[in-house]
């Protein structure tokens, strides 16, 4: 993967996810951080992106809205979106998967869990 966008309003969460990505061998990708869904949307539009990791609860634009925008865009439709949230459960996972999410992980995420979730995307 060359470029990964991480959307979370918490700098701590973004840093934590970056650390996990580095541990699982994706540290050489360009890791781009966004503080909300709107910022993330701009970032995935401005340059080709291989993966979008997003929180759900964010100001300005939440993760579910971001997911809908991405999946409704012909240009971005195929971008894998992995939701990493503290508010995830089977009901939410089903809802987000039906919206087109590649996967849903609960916080706190760990390198092993992230690795497992991203395995289908990693060559």
Partner 1 sequence: MSEKLEQDIYSAISSTLENMAFMEVGKEVAEAVRYPDEDIVVSRLLIHDPLPGELYLSMPKLLLGKIASSVYIMPAEELSEQMLLDMLGELINTVAGLFLNAYLPEDQAYNLGLPENVPVGENDSPFEMKTWDFHVDNDLFSLTLAGDGYFQEEEA
Residues contributing to the site for partner 1 (CB under 8 A): 9-13, 15-16, 19, 57-59, 85-92, 95, 106-108, 110
For the CB of residue 58, give the shortest distance to partner 1 in the complex, in Å: 8
Q: Which residues contact 109 (CB under 8 A, 6 or more apart)?
A: 16, 17, 20, 84
For the CB of residue 17, give the shortest distance to partner 1 in the complex, in Å: 11
DSSP tag of 23: I
Q: Which residues contact 116 (CB under 8 A, 6 or more apart)?
A: none
Tell me how far apart the alpha carbons of residues 100 and 80 are, in angstroms, rounded to a whole number: 8
| Cβ nearer to partner 1, comparing 49 with 85 | 85
| Cβ nearer to partner 1, comparing 11 with 122 | 11
For the CB of residue 31, give the shortest distance to partner 1 in the complex, in Å: 16
DSSP tag of 109: P
| Cβ nearer to partner 1, comparing 72 with 86 | 86
| Cβ nearer to partner 1, comparing 57 with 72 | 57
Cβ atoms of 71 and 63 closer than 8 Å: no
For the CB of residue 84, give the shortest distance to partner 1 in the complex, in Å: 11
């Amino acid at each position: 993967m060359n470029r990964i966008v991480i959307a979370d309003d918490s700098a701590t969460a973004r840093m934590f996810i970056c650390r996990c990505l580095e541990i699982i061998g994706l540290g050489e990708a360009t890791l781009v951080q966004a503080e909300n869904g709107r910022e993330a949307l701009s970032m995935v539009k401005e340059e080709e992106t291989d993966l979008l990791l997003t929180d759900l609860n964010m100001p300005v634009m939440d993760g579910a809205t971001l997911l809908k925008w991405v999946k409704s865009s012909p240009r971005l439709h195929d971008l894998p979106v992995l939701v990493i949230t503290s508010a995830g459960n089977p009901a939410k996972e089903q809802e987000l998967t039906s919206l087109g999410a590649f996967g849903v992980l609960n916080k706190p995420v760990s390198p092993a869990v992230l690795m497992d979730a991203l395995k289908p995307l990693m060559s």
